[in-house]
Structure 1
Amino acid sequence: MPTIERAEPPYLQVARHIREQIKAGKLQDGDLVPSSREISRTWGVAMATATKVLATLRAEGLTRAVSGVGTVVQTNGTLHHSARDRSIAIHRTGKIYPPGHYAKIRTAVLSPAPALAADALGIQEGAPAIRRQRTTYTVDHTPVSTSVSWFDGALAASCPLLLSTERIVQGTARYVEEQSGRTAVVTYVQHAAGFASEEEAEELGVPVESAVLVSRNRFVDSDGVVLEYGESTALPDHWVFYEYTNEEAE
């Protein structure tokens, strides 16, 4: 039976906005978060709603209250910056990673597509595919995640930089859009606990088969075709945030 979709509660909308500023690096550890009075004035919501926003962020472990100061960001570097987070960051700040974080492209080659990548991209297993491997580091040069992105090999002609280990300043998604006209409009993400392979362990500086967070990402264009398939591995204790509301069925 069809149901009516209700608008998201205002406090969740405001909390998401601030959360995404934190994940994008616009608000960093130690920075002040807008006060309840500022939130109320800026967003035109009641003080009770603004107070609930700050309580939500504290409950998520993203902020803490400091007596005589206000509410400050406190993540202690435990956020996992997912593919979605990077997409948000590039649109909001023009930068892919938070301040101090950076990535190194390890390889960028044409390679036979493995089964999972081929199935996602809609090509034959073993067909030529672009394989880009990167490792992401924090400001103190500590690796926090490593990932592999796969693209249909046919994109090599219009997007030659995908086969270069030089950093693509605007990010691969925007570069592919500019060069090919194809835009990723939907992203599907899967997360699971896993164990680091030998290659992943070497990149992350941990023992083989260490516990890690494994993600699969599918970036889908307006025609419903997967533009990019990615697999990433992140260290434990780096948190991914989701939000949803529970409503009783009527």
Structure 2
Amino acid sequence: MIQLDQLDRSDDRSPYLQIAAALREAINVGRLGPGDRLPSESELTGFYGVARMTVRQAIQELKTEGLVMAEHGRGVFVRSAPVVRRLASERFARQHRDRGKAAFLAEAEKVGYQAGVDSIRVHEAPVAADVAERLGIKAGDPVVVRERRYLANGEPVETATSYIPAEFARGTAITENDTGPGGIYARLEEAGHPLARFVEEVAARMPTPAERRALQLGPGVPVLTVVRTAFDEQGVAVEVCDTVKAAYAYVLEYDFPAR
């Protein structure tokens, strides 16, 4: 078994927290690497001389942090979770669209992960009141809805749903599964809506059951939500994008002047 710290009986922390800390350190320093199996419950109970429930509490602590994941019948493994650094001040730069790359693709590749998109669904629907307010249109007006799931190194890390007023999307590749080089924003600019600014609202919460399934999250793992509204040079809202991100997989970075 790998080297682990013993319990310190003088430590105020409960045994399960000490065991979780020892396993966390083993992961952080590389004694347990991505994809490695943790010692079994039997090995840990024998090593630490504690009840099986104590070990299970320790493992649950690591699951909640997104560090490990259980595979039925095989054990608990270190999650090979990518960390995507999302730099808000440059992620929608026109230079990326000019090179034919959408924002997520540029971000993931910048930190060495292979980006992918699956579960794409495109349809037209009446817009809900909250999205209509952000778009400056009436509730029930038609919008093109684009739902997709983003992958980093094959692992789901984000879901995104875009709402584009139908009058801006009809007749463009925005209504197709493949929007072409540069994504939605490149097509909007080609259609006469040069982008000028974005407004984002960032929050954190626990996922819904559907979100937990889509992002393959364990119990207790939170998500980050980012709702973005894109405006063209005339000040018209041309898209609302509602994203749900696995919190363990992202660092949100903001760079802005001190004024």
The number of aligned residues is 169
Q: Partner of 1:102 in structure 2?
A: 116
Structure 1's unaligned 5+ residue stretches are: 1-75
Q: What's the CA shift for 1:246?
A: 5.5
Query: Cα distance 1:167–1:182, how it changes in 2: closer, same or farther (>3 A)?
Result: closer
Q: What's the CA shift for 1:83?
A: 7.0
Q: Partner of 1:158 in structure 2?
A: 171
- Is this contact kept in 2: 1:217–1:231, CA < 8 A? yes
Does residue 190 (structure 1) correspond to residue 206 (structure 2)? The answer is no
Q: Partner of 1:181 in structure 2?
A: 192
Structure 2 residue identity aligned to 1:181: G
| Bigger relative CO (Cα 8 Å, ≥ 6 apart) | 2
Candidates 119, 123, 135, aligned match of 2:137: 123
Worse overlay, 99-108 or 212-221: 99-108
Candidates 149, 162, 165, aligned match of 2:162: 149
Q: Secondary structure at the match of 2:255?
A: coil
- Is this contact kept in 2: 1:197–1:208, CA < 8 A? no
Structure 2 length normalisation: TM-score? 0.58
Q: What's the CA shift for 1:200?
A: 2.1
Structure 2 residue identity aligned to 1:211: P
- Is this contact kept in 1: 2:88–2:254, CA < 8 A? no
Q: What's the CA shift for 1:155?
A: 2.1
C-alpha separation in 2, matches of 1:91 and 1:191: 24
Structure 1 residue identity aligned to 2:161: V
Q: Secondary structure at the match of 2:92?
A: helix
Query: Cα distance 1:244–1:176, how it changes in 2: closer, same or farther (>3 A)?
Result: closer
Taking only aligned residues, the RMSD between alpha carbons, in angstroms, comes to 2.5
Q: What's the CA shift for 1:244?
A: 4.6
Q: Partner of 1:229 in structure 2?
A: 240
Does residue 90 (structure 1) correspond to residue 96 (structure 2)? The answer is yes
Query: Cα distance 1:81–1:203, how it changes in 2: closer, same or farther (>3 A)?
Result: farther
Identity of aligned residues (%): 20
- Is this contact kept in 2: 1:214–1:233, CA < 8 A? yes
Does residue 81 (structure 1) correspond to residue 86 (structure 2)? The answer is yes
- Is this contact kept in 2: 1:219–1:227, CA < 8 A? yes
Q: Which runs of 4+ in 1 moved over 6 A?
A: none
Worse overlay, 192-201 or 76-85: 76-85
- Is this contact kept in 1: 2:89–2:256, CA < 8 A? no
Worse overlay, 204-213 or 123-132: 204-213
Does residue 168 (structure 1) correspond to residue 173 (structure 2)? The answer is no
C-alpha separation in 2, matches of 1:124 and 1:209: 37
- Is this contact kept in 2: 1:197–1:209, CA < 8 A? no
Does residue 239 (structure 1) correspond to residue 251 (structure 2)? The answer is yes
